[in-house]
Amino acid sequence: MARRQGPRPRSEAKKPREPKREPHRAPAGSGNAKGERLQKILAAAGIGSRRQCEELIRMGRVEVDRKVITELGFRAYPQRHKITVDGVPIRPEKPLYYAVYKPDGVVSTNRDPAGRPRVIDLVPERETRLFAVGRLDLHSEGLILVTNDGELANRLTHPKFGLPKTYLVQVAGEPNREVFAKLLRGVHLAEGVARVLSIKVRRKHKQSTILEMVLNEGRNREIRRIMAKVGHKVQRLKRIAVGPIRIGKMLPGDARPLSRQEIAALRRAGAGRTV
């Protein structure tokens, strides 16, 4: 029968645990809940919309205290940290808001390799970096908002928010009730189902019809594509309202600053959902 072993010698006893080391702390403002998200700071400084600022971060074009930041969750304090984009320090800007009547042939993007006229070129402000809120395709015309308020622009263009936009659309032929019902139910596009919120006839011509359509999405060339699906080619497309802002008596190429009441209405429209 095996003998029971006695207690182990002290030299073999279990060693006491070492005291816990403090975890490595990330640089100030980077990993905890303090500070503001970097993309929000950039948007507030007029660099672009929140999405555009996120892309700048991913591309490694943003530095905080001379360190390249590519993490979208990075937080910082604009008053404490030196933040640069492409080496240029950001600075807070006075928020500006314009309504612009985009003519046919003018692009909505800020950069155009072909050198075509841009919506932002129609705004008299030249000292501040501005950008269009949303887009209209090259051959569409009408109301588009221009601002340097990236936070509000992000809320107004976020797909989950669904800001209604109103269009006058001249189409070939005369759409019937069946076509209207199909547009209201939804038309299948490659990226999903596109639906019209409301549609009515504004005027009839011999070979075309002018419709008033309201949509709350922003897919590329959406109206032209859904009308082609139901057999009516778009001949002319003009946006007459973005949420509470209407084009009124503006003419192609016009740009006007929004009133305080209009800006307040936009902020209310953008406060319906947290994004």
| Contact (CB, 8 A) for 156 and 145 | yes
| Contact (CB, 8 A) for 187 and 84 | no
Apex 175 CA angle, 245 and 238, nearest 5 = 25
How far is it, in rounded angstroms, from Cα 144 to Cα 152? 14
How far is it, in rounded angstroms, from Cα 167 to Cα 53? 29
Rg (alpha carbons) of the chain, rounded to whole number: 27
Tokens of 262: 């209009």
Could you give the residue numbers annotated as active site?
137
3-state secondary structure of 153: helix
**Burial annotation 31-63 (CB, 10 A radius, 16+ → b, else e):** eeeebebbbbbbbbbbbbbbebbbebbeeebbb
